[in-house]
């Protein structure tokens, strides 16, 4: 009984062992076949394109590209505010002369023009006289026999003579110390440096006379070293604010002093 169990008990174990051996031998044979393979075949045709993969991460910022072509001009924008006034431009070229005008009506205006011309002269004289009177009122000097007035208009010597004469006077002639001192004080206090007086040697060089042609016999008050006229051009006389006299050129312009004789009552 024991022998039958024993022999029957060993049969399954042998079968399991036999399976293990066969399995091991199969693996060894496969490995030998793997090591003993043939030449590589030709490369097959590419397969179909696969599906798109997922979007990858955003890469770093690229390099700035080149400037593109100029685009089309855009629409005109709104009108801006009015600017400041510009500088005055240069004067333009003269225009073309206009056409000839129509002939005027005939008028006998000669006598009217004459009257208007006389009125213009009268008005001009009146203006000059008013100016003279206005200046006289501003300040004069006087002695028992004469009035003296400084005319504050720059004129040359001959114009000064005429200015005084048409007003009934003469260019001032200081013929004594008292008159000269009065005029010097007048000139100095008026703030002037020099004025024409009525002395000259226009007729004969070196022989000075007053404007009424009386010679300088009794009085003169020349500045030291004067008169000196090396070139013969200084034929008229000016009084300085010190009261001294100096010969000077007649074409120069300056203020001057007129004298007027008082009317006897």
Q: Write the secondary structure of the chain as one string of H (helix), E (strand) and C (coil).
A: CHHHHHHHHHHHHHHHHHHHHHHHHHHHHHHHHHHCCCCCCCCCCCCCCCCCCCCCCCCCCCCCCCCCCCCCCCCCCCCCCCCCCCCCCCCCCCCCCCCCCCCCCCCCCHHHHHHHHHHHHHHHHHHHHHHHHHHHHHCCEECCCEEEEEEEEEECHHHHHHHHHCCCCEECCCCCHHHHHHHHHHHHHCCCCEEEEEEECCCCCCCCEECCCCECCCCCCECCCCCCCCCCCCCEEEEECCCCEEEECCCCCEEEEEEEECCCC
Give the pLDDT confidence score for residue 119 in this predicted structure.
Answer: 77
Condensed to tens digits (0 to 9), the pLDDT of residues 124-183 reads 887 766 655 655 554 789 999 999 999 999 999 999 999 999 999 999 999 999 999 999
Give the pLDDT confidence score for residue 154 in this predicted structure.
Answer: 96
Give the pLDDT confidence score for residue 237 in this predicted structure.
Answer: 97
Residue pointed to by tokens 């590209």: 65
Cα 226 versus chain centre, distance: 50
Q: Are strands 170-171 and 194-200 parallel, antiparallel or unpaired?
A: unpaired
Other residues' Cβ atoms within 10 Å of the Cβ of residue 259 = 24
Cβ atoms of 260 and 145 closer than 8 Å: no
- Please give the share of the chain, as a percent, with pLDDT higher than 90: 41
Average pLDDT over residues 32-51: 74
Among residues 260, 261, 258, the alpha carbon closest in space to that of 153 is found at 258
Mean residue pLDDT of the chain comes to 82
Highest mean pLDDT (candidates 10-14, 55-59, 172-176)? 172-176
Cβ atoms of 198 and 226 closer than 8 Å: no
Among residues 224, 197, 221, the alpha carbon closest in space to that of 210 is found at 197
The band of 118, judged by pLDDT with boundaries at 50, 70 and 90, is confident
C-alpha distances out from residue 65 to 58, 61, 69, 70, 209, Å: 19, 12, 12, 15, 104
The band of 36, judged by pLDDT with boundaries at 50, 70 and 90, is low
C-alpha distances out from residue 98 to 11, 91, 93, 244, Å: 149, 19, 15, 65
Give the pLDDT confidence score for residue 32 in this predicted structure.
Answer: 53
Condensed to tens digits (0 to 9), the pLDDT of residues 191-248 reads 999 999 999 999 999 999 999 999 998 899 999 999 998 888 999 999 999 999 999 9
Say how far apart CA 199 and CA 220 lie, in whole Å.
10
| pLDDT of 90 higher than 50 | yes
- Give Rg (Cα) of the chain: 66
């Amino acid at each position: 009984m024991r022998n039958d169990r024993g022999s029957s008990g060993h049969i399954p174990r042998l079968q399991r062992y036999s399976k293990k051996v066969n399995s091991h031998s199969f693996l060894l044979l496969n490995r030998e076949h793997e090591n003993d393979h043939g030449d590589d075949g030709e490369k097959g045709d590419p397969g179909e394109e696969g599906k798109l993969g997922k979007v990858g991460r955003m890469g770093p910022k690229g390099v700035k590209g080149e400037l593109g072509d100029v685009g089309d001009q855009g629409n005109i924008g709104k009108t801006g505010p009015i600017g400041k006034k510009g500088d005055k431009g240069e004067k333009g070229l003269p225009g073309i002369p206009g056409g000839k005008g129509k002939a005027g009506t005939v008028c006998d205006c000669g006598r009217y023009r004459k009257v208007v011309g006389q009125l213009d002269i009268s008005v001009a004289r009146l203006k000059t006289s008013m100016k003279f009177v206005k200046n006289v009122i501003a300040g004069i000097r006087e002695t028992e026999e004469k009035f003296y007035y400084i005319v504050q208009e720059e004129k040359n010597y001959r114009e000064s003579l005429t200015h005084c004469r048409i007003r009934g006077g003469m260019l001032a002639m200081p013929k004594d110390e008292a008159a000269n001192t009065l005029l010097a004080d007048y000139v100095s206090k008026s703030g002037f440096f020099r004025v024409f007086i009525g002395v000259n040697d226009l007729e004969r060089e070196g022989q000075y006379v007053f404007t009424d042609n009386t010679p300088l016999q009794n009085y003169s008050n020349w500045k030291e070293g004067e008169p000196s006229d090396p070139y013969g051009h200084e034929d008229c006389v000016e009084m300085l604010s010190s009261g001294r006299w100096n010969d000077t050129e007649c074409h120069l312009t300056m203020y001057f002093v007129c004298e007027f004789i008082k009317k006897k009552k």
